[in-house]
Amino acid sequence: MIDSADVAAVWLTLKLASLVTVLLLAIGTPVAWWLAHTRSRLRPVVGAVVALPLVLPPTVIGFYLLLALGPNGAVGQLTQALGIGLLPFTFGGLVIASVLYSMPFVVQPLQNAFEAIGSRPLEVAATLRASPWDSFWTVAVPLARPGFFTAAVLGFAHTVGEFGVVLMIGGNIPEKTRVVSVQIYDHVEALEYAQAHWLAGGMLVFSFVVLLALYTLNPGAMKGRR
Amino acid sequence: MKRLAVMLALLGCGAAQAAEVQVAVAANFTAPMQKIAAEFNKDTGHKAVLAFGATGKFYAQIVNGAPFELLLAADDETPARLEREGRTVPGSRFTYATGKLALWSARPGYVDAGGKVLASGSYAHLAIANPKTAPYGLAATETLEKLGLSAGVQGKLVQGENIAQAHQFVSTGNAELGFVALSQVWKDGKFSAGSGWIVPASLHAPIRQDAVVLAKGAGNEAARALAGYLKSDKARDIIRSFGYEL
């Protein structure tokens, strides 16, 4: 029932979600750390910007990305000047869009975890002459491990479940931008309900198992995600 | 005075019989249908409530109980299928327009009158609608095949989920050119913006767009009235002015 195009879409989705999760942890961790510790007046502003994808419809994000990344947009002109070319219709474009779109799902659990640790353990580490860098890796990261786990799982799962943004800037190119959610949409549109069921059912089971694992291994995740 | 009384009586009588009809309309027919619905309302007092979208999605919704009473599809297959399945008013199916395909670019002067730019390969992206689900996308791939360019453009094709999205990719400049419905870029006898080439009908199978009264609309006078109105000279003139054939 599953054909090679479906397999390619599944593979592409896993590749996209893995890469995006790694990037999100790399970018999201300093952002979450800053949000958890700063007293800057910019804190609510940055927090709101990071959280925007939670409330904006994907069509808004996709529409503005299409304009911004396009030949007449600011980012598009920059990428062209740098010789990268235009990002819509490319895997790289999807990666950037997904990082923006899934950012709150990674930043917020991390921020909650860092805030829960508080400044006390870090102060103690400092009195023992640990450098801030040192105490971050040996004190904060181990204590925030459940937060990292939640962030990674939610970032990955949310990227797998992304649809609207990909639809608007992807162009449905096999092995480049045709992810599972788009493939399911195509099957339904083409009235290929049997194939749609295989993929859609698979997504349902996958998502349930991921969340079940998260809430079983890390019961705090439910409280952490307000 | 007498005439006024007659007019009032007529108006009152029109209002008493005025009904609403829920219409599912193919995305490519959005602009002409809005105009037709306004005229229909003026002429008959009936109100057409329009929903625009992809024909395949409408099919799924109709099968699952959507309240549509009239379907204006982007193809002739979906209405025929609904008819076979007994979900329509028998004998109500007809072709309301035949679509024309255009190769179009938002850049003025980019597409020549013969469409030779297609073979030049001077572009990075060629947008089409998904050929699996959109009749205009299928017509585009048929055209490319007939021109012997299918292999040449393989790495450059980007697909919109429907013809509206293919148009969006081109109009935002993300794709230099694309195959769109002529109705999207045609106004008053010329391209409304950019540059384009009307693809000769000989290069693809005709894009016949059929309408059908759905079973839910069987008892609705407004549904029958609108189906009839679409065949009127007035409606046909509007349809033609948007670049469709009849």
Helix (H/G/I), strand (E/B), else coil: B31: helix
User: Residue B215: its pLDDT value, please?
Assistant: 96
User: Residue A119: its pLDDT value, please?
Assistant: 85
Over residues A148-170, mean pLDDT: 93
CATH number for the domain that contains residue A10: 1.10.3720.10
The pTM of the full predicted model, rounded to 2 decimals, is: 0.81
**pLDDT band (50, 70, 90) for residue A122:** confident
**pLDDT band (50, 70, 90) for residue A98:** very high
Does 3.40.190.10 match the CATH number of domain B2-98+207-241? Answer: yes
Domain B101-198 in the same topology as domain B2-98+207-241: yes
Over residues A182-204, mean pLDDT: 91
Question: Amino acid identity of A78?
Answer: L
Domain range annotation of chain B: 2-98+207-241, 101-198
Q: Which residues of A176-213 are buried (b: 16+ CB within 10 A; e: fewer)?
A: bbbbbbbbbbbbbbeebeebbebbbeebeeeeeebeee
* C-beta separation of B144 from B213 below 8 A: no
User: Residue A225: its pLDDT value, please?
Assistant: 45
Judged by a CB distance cut-off of 8 A, whether residue B153 touches chain A is no
In order of A201, B35, B139, B141, the CA distances from B130 in angstroms are: 24, 27, 10, 10
Does 3.40.190.10 match the CATH number of domain B101-198? Answer: yes
Which run of H or of E encompasses B212? strand B207-213
Interchain contact, B56 vs A173, CB within 8 Å: no
Closest CB to A70 among B54, B60, B173: B173
What total of structural domains would you count in chain A? 1
Judged by a CB distance cut-off of 8 A, whether residue B85 touches chain A is no
Give phi and psi for B87, each to the nearest 5.
-105, 15
- Rounded to the nearest 10 degrees, the angle between the axes of helix A145-160 and helix A193-217 is 170
Predicted complex ipTM exceeds 0.90: no
Between β-strands B70-72 and B20-26, what pairing exists: parallel, antiparallel or unpaired? Answer: parallel
User: Residue A223: its pLDDT value, please?
Assistant: 55
Closest CB to A89 among B57, B161, B174: B174
In order of A20, B102, B116, B172, B186, the CA distances from B111 in angstroms are: 38, 10, 8, 16, 15
pLDDT tens for chain B, 246 residues long, are 556 555 555 554 444 468 999 999 998 898 899 999 999 999 999 999 999 988 888 998 999 889 999 999 999 999 999 999 999 999 999 999 999 999 999 999 999 988 999 999 899 999 999 998 889 999 999 999 999 999 999 899 999 988 889 999 999 999 999 999 999 999 888 899 999 999 999 999 999 999 999 999 999 999 999 999 999 999 999 999 998 988
Judged by a CB distance cut-off of 8 A, whether residue A174 touches chain B is no
User: Residue B188: its pLDDT value, please?
Assistant: 81
Q: A98-102, A165-169, B112-116 — which one is most confidently predicted on average?
A: A98-102
Interchain contact, B172 vs A189, CB within 8 Å: no
Residue A35's domain comprises 4-224
Instruction: Write the pLDDT tens digit of every residue in A65-93.
Output: 999 999 989 999 999 999 888 999 999 99
User: Residue A219: its pLDDT value, please?
Assistant: 74
Q: How far is B45 from chain A (nearest CA, A)?
A: 35
Q: How far is A156 from chain B (nearest CA, A)?
A: 25
Judged by a CB distance cut-off of 8 A, whether residue B158 touches chain A is yes
Which residue, among B158, B177, B179, would best test binding to A if mutated, counting the most A CBs under 10 Å from its CB?
B158
Over residues A15-35, mean pLDDT: 97
User: Residue B15: its pLDDT value, please?
Assistant: 46
Residues 6+ apart with CB under 8 A from A126: A132, A135
